[in-house]
Amino acid sequence: MNIMIVGPDPDAQGGIATVIQNFKTAKVPEDSQFFFHQTWSEKGRFWTQCKAFMTFRAHIKKEKCHILHFHVAQKGSFYRKSLLLLLTPRHCRTIFHMHASQFDQFYENGHPLIKCWIRFILKRVNQLVVLSNSWAAYYQTLTHTAIAILPNAVELPSQNLYEPKASCILTLGRIGKRKGSFDLLEVAKACEAEFPAIHFMLYGDEENEEVAQQIKSENIHNVSLNGWVAKEELPSLFQQTVLHFLPSYHEGLPMAILETMAAGIPNITTKVGGIPELIEQDRNGYLVDAGDTQAMLEGLRKLLQDEDHRLQLSRSARSTIAEDYALQPYLAKWHEIYKKQFSLLQKNNTRGAL
């Protein structure tokens, strides 16, 4: 089977790029071969998008691809993949791998014509793959296309990296309102007097300037704002981290939570997207309602004051990843999805020849 992975540059920042990077570095089964078609890059964005359209069919033909695996979010990502879907040769099977954190809002706020377009595209694709049961239930309201549920996965470090006496509360990923960054600032400010040794470290991008301005204007001393952290620097950063704090309002299934849990770092996060299907309250993490800064503060206080509880969460978090979200079983499940699509392709070709 020749499979084309269609999505952003694997070396770009963000969760989708991390997922694609995992496919790029994976050990491929003997009956399969991966090819990669970039649709977005942080450098030369316009040219990358133009090239993606101009070379699409030629690339499929050159590599004799059978299955196209599109990585899809909302807005521009969905529109780009929609147009490429319409350019797809009839002999190829198509999969939309839905990573969107706000697809429901994207659809509900769209013009009626946009809604028709979304339903048309979702009907035309052969297979949808989504990150959680809750997202599967939502997409079932838009299409009758077959839906498979396959949460994201990460590589498990060889050992637990957690240091329970560390003093850094880490937040990885995009920075901005959707990620609850302004709620984080409120919580951090309230924590400063009670936990003077604790420092909040944010790594990411987007609304950095607005967040930086609020840090300055409110004179918040225990928050540092940083750019993206390189993958090779993560193990060292994880060993300085006592908690990972992600107060998001909308999510799919964040790679940042999976990566920190795999390293044994307890998470305080919100009940959005696929997160409640990953984290069980007080067993492998701590959950609060989005926007409930008082509950966030109480959760932080509870965990920072109880080292034994943090260690219990650390062991359970890492165990959860090892049992249900490890990379190799995840890739094996993808192989089964590919084989099913390839089998359907062969059946269709046989019928066409009769």
C-beta separation of 285 from 304 below 8 A: no
**Quick one: 182 and 264 in the same domain?**
yes
**Quick one: 187 and 242 in the same domain?**
yes
Q: Is residue 249 in a domain?
A: yes
Number of separate domains in the chain: 2
**Quick one: 245 and 132 in the same domain?**
no
**Quick one: 335 and 315 in the same domain?**
no
Burial class from Cβ neighbours inside 10 Å (0-12, 13-18, 19+) for residue 150 reads: middle
What is the Cα–Cα distance from 200 to 21, expressed in whole angstroms? Answer: 28
**Quick one: 349 and 266 in the same domain?**
no
Query: Helix axis angle, 327-353 relative to 15-25, nearest 10°?
Result: 80
Q: What is the pLDDT of residues 246-265, one digit of tens each?
A: 999 999 999 999 999 999 99
Burial class from Cβ neighbours inside 10 Å (0-12, 13-18, 19+) for residue 3 reads: buried
**Quick one: 116 and 193 in the same domain?**
no
* Phi (first) and psi of residue 2, to 5 degrees: -105, 120
**Quick one: 316 and 340 in the same domain?**
no
**Quick one: 117 and 177 in the same domain?**
no
113-135 burial string, b = 16+ CB within 10 Å, else e? eeeeebeebbeebbbbbbbbeeb
Q: Is residue 159 in a domain?
A: no
Q: Is residue 158 in a domain?
A: no
Q: Is residue 270 in a domain?
A: yes
What is the Cα–Cα distance from 72 to 80, expressed in whole angstroms? Answer: 9
Q: What is the pLDDT of residues 328-344, one digit of tens each?
A: 999 999 999 999 999 99
Nearest partner of 27 among 328, 231, 338, 334, judged by Cα: 328
Q: Hey, what amino acid is at 9?
A: D
Query: What CATH number did the domain enclosing 179 receive?
Result: 3.40.50.2000
The domain of 227 spans 168-322
Q: Is residue 162 in a domain?
A: no
**Quick one: 92 and 175 in the same domain?**
no
Q: Which helix (H) or strand (E) holds 344?
A: helix 327-353
**Quick one: 318 and 336 in the same domain?**
no
**Quick one: 126 and 233 in the same domain?**
no
Q: What is the pLDDT of residues 22-34, one digit of tens each?
A: 999 888 889 999 9
Strand order in the sheet with 241-246: 223-226, 199-203, 168-172, 241-246, 267-270, 286-288
- Residue 216 confidence (pLDDT) above 70: yes
**Quick one: 331 and 292 in the same domain?**
no
pLDDT-based confidence at residue 354 (cuts at 50, 70, 90): very low
Q: Is residue 163 in a domain?
A: no
Q: By 3-state DSSP, what share of the chain in percent is helix, strand and coil, each rounded to 5?
A: 45, 20, 35
Q: Is residue 210 in a domain?
A: yes
Q: What is the pLDDT of residues 105-164, one digit of tens each?
A: 999 999 999 999 999 999 999 999 999 999 999 999 999 999 999 999 999 999 999 999
What is the Cα–Cα distance from 104 to 74, expressed in whole angstroms? Answer: 9
Q: 336: how many CB neighbours lie within 10 A of its CB?
A: 11
Q: Is residue 230 in a domain?
A: yes
Q: What is the pLDDT of residues 204-214, one digit of tens each?
A: 886 688 999 99
* Phi (first) and psi of residue 247, to 5 degrees: -90, 50
